[in-house]
Structure 1
Amino acid sequence: MVHVEPVSAYPPPSSRTLEQWLDPGLGTTHQPELRTRLREIADARAALAAMWAAFLSLGVSAILFAGVLLAVTGRAASTVPWIAVGVVLAAVSALFLSRVRRWVPRPRTSLSVRGPGNLRGGLWAAGGILFLLNVFLVIGALTTGRVLVMVLVDLGMVLLLTSAFVVPSAILGRSRLTLRRQTQKDPRLAATLERERLSWRPDGRTAMFGPL
């Protein structure tokens, strides 16, 4: 008995060139929710980049906040270690973030992301938390008179919320645009995606190679 593979209702990867699959006009003709291999790659890359960008922003925030505390209090013993930790965290995160640019995940690789998926959502989330926090901070400042403490806590929360919500959500919201632009600028990434186009086969989760 001869086993016959079912014929896919979707066009094969070879039906278009990589440039055609990446064309934004082609993407608009398909639903944004349609799962394709290129979108799978873009989303996984963005999720990993968002994580390292958040750590990078957190390291820079630690440096900035410790610098402000040093200027205000003059206590180098309690702030210099935070600056050193921030420098190390930022440097390591920048190194791994740079490696994401040429990373192409294997088929069925899925990185789960919880939180806002675009810049607007990140700004709303961070703004809402900051607003609620400031309600309590203002009440505390009025009752205790510690305005400087309120300002420092507020600054720290702004930096923290930016790192946790705004930065990663901005990267996630531009996942497909980023992959398209990086492919156009990086021949090595374009060559990797071209090899992927020639070797990829549909599976149970993803039926089409493109569009992006």
Structure 2
Amino acid sequence: MNDRPERLRSYPGPDRPLEYWLSPELARLSPPEARSRLRELADAQGTLTAAWGAGIGGGVVFILTGIFIMVMGGGLGPFIALGLFGAGLLVGGILGCRRVRSRLPKTRHTLITRGPGSARGGISMIVFFGVVLGAVFGYGAFNGGAREGSTVAALIGAYILIMLFLVACLLVPSTIMGRSRASFRRKVQSNAQFRALLEEDLLTWRDPVGNASYGPL
């Protein structure tokens, strides 16, 4: 027998409706670092989506790397191996993103990220690595007089692929995480099924460690 009604009756009703906690005005009045259930959900979903998004970007880069190696005379072996691996990452990332965005994430364990948490931070890191790697690859490509065209093309291609990999691993996830709360709000407003999950969570959730409110977002 379904005990959901009994479980819901065991908690007092929420003091505010969900629409109140979703208010952008309320979010602007609250410091960004202030705790709330909505922010924990949005940040956790953003972190998980960012990880899968990096997998999508990485999969594309591995496929391009296989194509580049084949064009440069590396044969079909590396192209097939890297292509299959990249395709697996791409498909897995797409399915993972859809799965994460269709349900409320678990927030019992804090998800720790080591990379930048915003698009600006991701761009800054990419620019830094781009300058450093550009100097190294430029020295290797053009130092010591004229070099064979294929060697220069290989070094330039390798540099581009490394930069694309950095975009996939740094810029894509940092952009997703930086917009996680705004994306979460749009998801709630546009998806009735997801909003219903949040409405049920509002009825049952109580802060297990303090007195944090359900919102703002």
Calculate the TM-score normalised by the size of structure 2.
0.86
CA deviation vs aligned residue, 1:180-199 (integer Å, no higher than 9, x gap) = 01111221210111011111
CA distance in 2, matches of 1:25, 1:73: 58
Whether contact under 8 Å (1:130, 1:157) holds in the other structure is no
Gapped regions of structure 1 (runs ≥ 5):
1-11
Which residue of structure 1 aligns with residue 207 of structure 2? 202
Which residue of structure 2 aligns with residue 187 of structure 1? 192
Shift of the alpha carbon at 1:106? Answer: 3.4
Shift of the alpha carbon at 1:108? Answer: 3.3
Which residue of structure 2 aligns with residue 9 of structure 1? none
CA distance in 1, matches of 2:184, 2:80: 38
CA deviation vs aligned residue, 1:105-144 (integer Å, no higher than 9, x gap) = 3353321111100001001111111210111111111225
CA deviation vs aligned residue, 1:144-174 (integer Å, no higher than 9, x gap) = 5331122111111111101110000000000
Q: For 1:127-138, what aligned pairs fall within 5 Å after superposition? A: 127-138=127-138
Q: Once superposed, what is the RMSD of the aligned Cα atoms?
A: 1.8
Equivalent position amino acid for 1:159 in 2: L
How many residues are matched?
Answer: 201
CA deviation vs aligned residue, 1:3-52 (integer Å, no higher than 9, x gap) = xxxxxxxxx98232112211211100111110100000001111111111
CA distance in 2, matches of 1:84, 1:104: 31
Which residue of structure 1 aligns with residue 53 of structure 2? 53
Whether contact under 8 Å (2:42, 2:181) holds in the other structure is yes
Which residue of structure 2 aligns with residue 101 of structure 1? 101
Which residue of structure 2 aligns with residue 38 of structure 1? 38
Equivalent position amino acid for 1:189 in 2: F
**After the TM superposition, which of the residue ranges 42-51 and 140-149 deviates more from structure 2?**
140-149
Which residue of structure 1 aligns with residue 6 of structure 2? none
CA distance in 2, matches of 1:37, 1:129: 36
Shift of the alpha carbon at 1:205? Answer: 4.9
Gapped regions of structure 2 (runs ≥ 5):
1-11
Which residue of structure 2 aligns with residue 27 of structure 1? 27
CA distance in 1, matches of 2:152, 2:23: 54
CA distance in 2, matches of 1:64, 1:106: 35
CA distance in 1, matches of 2:13, 2:121: 34
Shift of the alpha carbon at 1:78? Answer: 2.4
Provide the identity percentage: 35
Which residue of structure 2 aligns with residue 159 of structure 1? 164
